[in-house]
Chain A
Amino acid sequence: MEPADELLNDQASLELDADPMRLNMGPSHPAMHGTIRMVMDLDGENLVNLDVQPGYLHRGFEKSCERGTWAQVFPYADRLNYVSPMLNNVGWSLAVEKLLGIEVPERCQYYRVVLGELSRIADHFTCNGASAMELGAFTPFLWLLKVRDWVWDILERETGARMTHSFGRIGGMAAPPTPNFKDDVRQLIPELFKVVKETEIMLLRNRIFLDRMQGVGVLTKEQALSYGCTGPVARSTGIPYDVRKDHPYLVYDRFDFDVPIGEDGDNWDRFMVRLEEIRQSIRIIEQALEQMPDDGPVNVDDPRIVYPDKQDVYTTIEATIAHFKLVMEGLRVPKGEVYSFTEGGNGELGFHIVSDGSGTPYRVRVRPPCWYNLAAAREMLLGGMIADIIPTFGSVNMIGGECDR
Chain B
Amino acid sequence: MPKFTLDGKEISFEPGETVMQAAWREGIEIPHYCWHPGLSIAANCRMCLVQVESGRQMAMPQLAFDESKGEYVPSTKPKLQPACQLAAADEMVVSSTNDEVKAAQASVQEFLLLNHPVDCPICDQAGECKLQDYYYEHQGSLKRKLTEPVHKPKGVRFGPTIVYDAERCIMCTRCIRVCDEVAKDHVLDMRERGNKNEIILAPGRELDHKYTLMTEHVCPVGALTSSDFRFKARVWFLKSGEGVCTGCATGCNTHVDYDPRYGKVYRLRPRDNQDVNQFWMCDDGMMTYTRQATDRVLTATSGRGEDRLPLAEREAIAKAAEQLSSVDASKLAIVLSAQNTTEDNLALAKLGSALGAERLYLAALGGWEGDDILRSDDNNPNRAGASLAAGGAALKPVSELIADVQSGEVQGVLALGWASAEKLEELAPLVSLDAVVSLTSHVGALPAAAEVVIPIADIFEIEGSFINAQGMAQSFRGVLSAPADIEPGWQKIGELAKALGKDLGFTNLDGLRKGLSDAAEAAQ
Contacts and interface: CB of A to CB of B under 8 A. Distances in A.
Interface of A: 302-304, 308, 312, 314-322, 324-325, 328, 332
Contact of A320 (B118, B127, B136, B236): B118
Contacts of A322: 135-136, 140, 142
B473 to A, nearest CB: 37
Nearest to A312: B142
B120 A318 contact: no
B142 A316 contact: yes
Contacts of A304: 136, 140
B238 to A, nearest CB: 14
A317 B221 CA distance: 13
A304 B134 CA distance: 12
Contact of A319 (B121, B126, B127, B142): B142
Given A316-B118, A321-B132, 5 more contacts: A316-B143, A318-B135, A322-B142, A324-B120, A325-B136
B120 A320 contact: yes
A358 to B, nearest CB: 12
B107 interface: no
B124 to A, nearest CB: 14
Contacts of A332: 136
B132 A318 contact: no
Nearest to A359: B136
A317 B143 contact: yes
Interface in B119-178: 119-121, 126-127, 131-132, 135-136, 139-143
Chain B, interface size category, equals 10 to 19
A317 B140 contact: no
28 contacts: A303-B140, A303-B141, A303-B142, A304-B140, A312-B143, A314-B118, A315-B118, A316-B142, A317-B113, A317-B117, A317-B119, A317-B120, A318-B113, A318-B135, A318-B142, A319-B142, A320-B118, A320-B120, A320-B121, A321-B113, A321-B131, A321-B132, A322-B140, A322-B142, A324-B126, A325-B132, A325-B136, A328-B236
Interface string B56-95: 0000000000000000000000000000000000000000
Between A302, A308, A312, A316, the greatest number of chain B beta carbons within 10 A of the residue's beta carbon is seen for A316
B116 interface: yes
B140 to A, nearest CB: 4
Contacts of A324: 120, 126, 132
Contacts of A314: 118
- 8 smallest CB-CB distances across A and B, nearest first, come from A316-B143, A317-B116, A304-B140, A325-B136, A321-B135, A320-B120, A321-B132, A318-B143
A319 B127 CA distance: 15
A325 B121 CA distance: 12
A46 to B, nearest CB: 59
Contacts, number: 51
A321 B113 CA distance: 10
A330 B136 CA distance: 11
Contacts of A325: 132, 135-136
Nearest to B144: A318
B126 A318 contact: no
Main secondary structure, interface of A, reads helix
A328 B127 contact: yes
Contacts of B139: 318
A314 B139 CA distance: 19
Nearest to B116: A317
Between A314, A319, A325, A328, the greatest number of chain B beta carbons within 10 A of the residue's beta carbon is seen for A325
A386 to B, nearest CB: 54
Nearest to A313: B118
A315 B136 CA distance: 18
Contacts of A328: 127, 236
Interface string B504-521: 000000000000000000
Contacts of B236: 328
A384 B28 CA distance: 68
A335 to B, nearest CB: 15
Nearest to B131: A321
Contacts of B142: 303, 308, 312, 316, 318-319, 322
Contacts of A319: 142-143
A405 to B, nearest CB: 29
A369 B85 CA distance: 59
Interface string B233-246: 00010000000000
Contacts of B140: 302-304, 322
A331 B53 CA distance: 33
A330 B120 CA distance: 17
Interface string B95-129: 00000000000000000010011111100001100
Interface in B400-431: none
A346 B238 CA distance: 45
B300 to A, nearest CB: 42
A319 B135 CA distance: 10
A22 to B, nearest CB: 50
Contacts of A318: 113, 135, 139, 141-143
Contacts of B132: 321, 324-325
Contact of B120 (A308, A315, A321): A321
Between A303, A317, A320, A322, the greatest number of chain B beta carbons within 10 A of the residue's beta carbon is seen for A317
Contacts of A302: 140
A301 to B, nearest CB: 9
Nearest to B133: A325
Nearest to A317: B116
B85 to A, nearest CB: 28
Contacts of B141: 303, 318
A321 B143 contact: no
Contacts of A303: 140-142
Contacts of B120: 317, 320-321, 324
A40 B116 CA distance: 70
A319 B126 CA distance: 14
A31 B51 CA distance: 70
Nearest to A326: B136
A135 to B, nearest CB: 55
A332 B138 CA distance: 13
Nearest to A319: B142
Nearest to B142: A318
Nearest to B143: A316
Contacts of A316: 118, 142-143
A68 to B, nearest CB: 14
Contacts of B117: 317
A322 B236 CA distance: 17
A3 to B, nearest CB: 86
A322 B140 CA distance: 8
Contacts of A317: 113, 116-120, 143
A70 to B, nearest CB: 14
A172 to B, nearest CB: 16
Contacts of B136: 304, 321-322, 325, 332
B347 to A, nearest CB: 43
Contacts of B126: 324
B69 to A, nearest CB: 26
A275 B121 CA distance: 53
B163 to A, nearest CB: 20
A53 B91 CA distance: 67
A385 B248 CA distance: 85
A320 B117 CA distance: 10
Nearest to B146: A316
Nearest to B134: A321
Between B117, B119, B142, the greatest number of chain A beta carbons within 10 A of the residue's beta carbon is seen for B142
Between A302, A304, A314, the greatest number of chain B beta carbons within 10 A of the residue's beta carbon is seen for A304
A227 to B, nearest CB: 45
